[in-house]
Structure 1
């Protein structure tokens, strides 16, 4: 499976961000990718009120994403915001194109490092795995990467690849933690991890607006490709068949006792 990661820097304008998305879809198509992973908050960056940007999963932003993906003949994962209860929104990954129409609402909210995502975001409840060309692709968002149980649950549900979309918060040691966690979750679940983050906007912010450093990790925790902080793209060929071999020699899922 040829996969692409588009490390963009979203703005506060959802329509303008669709232009960024369209450019990444076109580049992924031209590269022959079957799956494109875009960051969390691709619809609208953090640091601004999110409720005005939120749309239903079948709203105009999602519909345009679906059209772009279908026209390119690939599947796209992109971070958006959808309406929640009580004035809150849901931090939603939309999956569109290639015969796939699904979404995942972020389960673990970023109530850490002085932030309280749960003040404005309603949590999701269920892990989600989608089928892309016969390959199980699990979905995770940013802070989710700190929770091994989600990744093993995705593997139990048939994932051999996990797409992690993020808008990682900056701070001492945070970029190093991002790579460490992505590699650890690959080993926990013996899955490929496709970790795509927002690029570093280059402007200090109290909001988690991204540090870049997207990476693709093998089921044995090896970094296959990575980016720096600036906007950029990765195109990597992964062999989902390798997952079965790794799980044979490193059967951590089968050997679990808790």
Structure 2
């Protein structure tokens, strides 16, 4: 399966972010990718006024993404937001060329390292797998990557690849944790893991809000045995990935961790 990972920095200016999505999606389509993944918070970087941004831009954003998917012929998976009465929902929107749209709402909110996402974000409840070219793919957002049971569930629903879109918070050893967690989720779920984060604004020079998780880069793809197949630095970049997902079946046969699991795992 051939797909693209767009490691970018978004800002709080939605039209600029949309233009970046258009550019990278066009390049991915030209490469022959069947889908492209953008990071968490692509519609708008985390910062103050996020609910107002979602209220003002969600409808036009979705219409533009549906048109773009139809024009380019590939599925677009992108971090976005929707407004509720007093909060927002942190979403991965999935836009198919057919015009179908699905969404995954982030289940595990980032109440950690002094940040409290649940103050402004409403949690989702349901895991989601999608089908692209008859292949089942699991979806996750950022802090979800610390929770193995979610990935076990995605694998049990038939996914051989899970995509994690993030806007990973910077800090001591945070890049190391990100890389370890992505490889661990591959190992304990018999899946490929494509872990895509926002680029590092300290490297790209993109003007992002000074507080909140705004990305560290270092996106990677791990095979089901924890081997890193693709690894990025902190810069903005489009990475084209081509995987033989049958390797997930071989890994499950060799190390059947889900079949052997106890204690409700």
1:250 to 252, 255, 259: 255
Contact 1:145 1:185 in 2 (8 A): yes
Which secondary structure state, in structure 2, belongs to the residue aligned with residue 21 of structure 1?
helix
CA distance in 1: counterparts of 2:107 and 2:56, whole angstroms = 18
The TM-score with structure 2 as length reference comes to 0.93
Q: Could you list the per-position Cα deviations for residues 119-149 of structure 1 after superposition, in whole angstroms to 9, with x for gaps in the alignment? A: 0000000000000111111110000000001
CA distance in 1: counterparts of 2:192 and 2:253, whole angstroms = 15
Query: Unpaired segments of 5 or more residues in structure 2?
Result: none
Which secondary structure state, in structure 1, belongs to the residue aligned with residue 188 of structure 2?
helix
Q: Could you list the per-position Cα deviations for residues 181-221 of structure 1 after superposition, in whole angstroms to 9, with x for gaps in the alignment? A: 00000111111111111011127833100001111111111
Q: Report the more deviating stretch, 184-193 or 103-112.
A: 184-193
User: What are the within-5 Å matches in structure 2 for residues 71-220 of structure 1?
Assistant: 71-84=71-84, 86-99=85-98, 100-202=100-202, 205-220=210-225
Q: Report the more deviating stretch, 107-116 or 189-198.
A: 189-198
Number of residue pairs matched?
Answer: 257
Query: Unpaired segments of 5 or more residues in structure 1?
Result: none
Provide runs of 4+ in structure 1 moved above 6 Å. Answer: none
1:228 to 223, 226, 233: 233
Structure 2 vs 1, CA of residues 250 and 106 (structure 1 numbering), >3 Å: closer, same or farther?
Answer: same
Cα RMSD after superposing both structures: 1.6
User: What are the within-5 Å matches in structure 2 for residues 21-40 of structure 1?
Assistant: 21-40=21-40
Structure 2 vs 1, CA of residues 218 and 94 (structure 1 numbering), >3 Å: closer, same or farther?
Answer: same
CA distance in 2: counterparts of 1:23 and 1:107, whole angstroms = 30
Which secondary structure state, in structure 2, belongs to the residue aligned with residue 59 of structure 1?
helix
| Structure richer in helix, relative to its length | 2
Which secondary structure state, in structure 2, belongs to the residue aligned with residue 130 of structure 1?
strand
CA distance in 2: counterparts of 1:194 and 1:49, whole angstroms = 30
Q: Could you list the per-position Cα deviations for residues 164-187 of structure 1 after superposition, in whole angstroms to 9, with x for gaps in the alignment? A: 000000000001100000000011
Q: Which residue of 1 aligns with 2:53?
A: 53
Q: Could you list the per-position Cα deviations for residues 7-27 of structure 1 after superposition, in whole angstroms to 9, with x for gaps in the alignment? A: 011010111100010011011
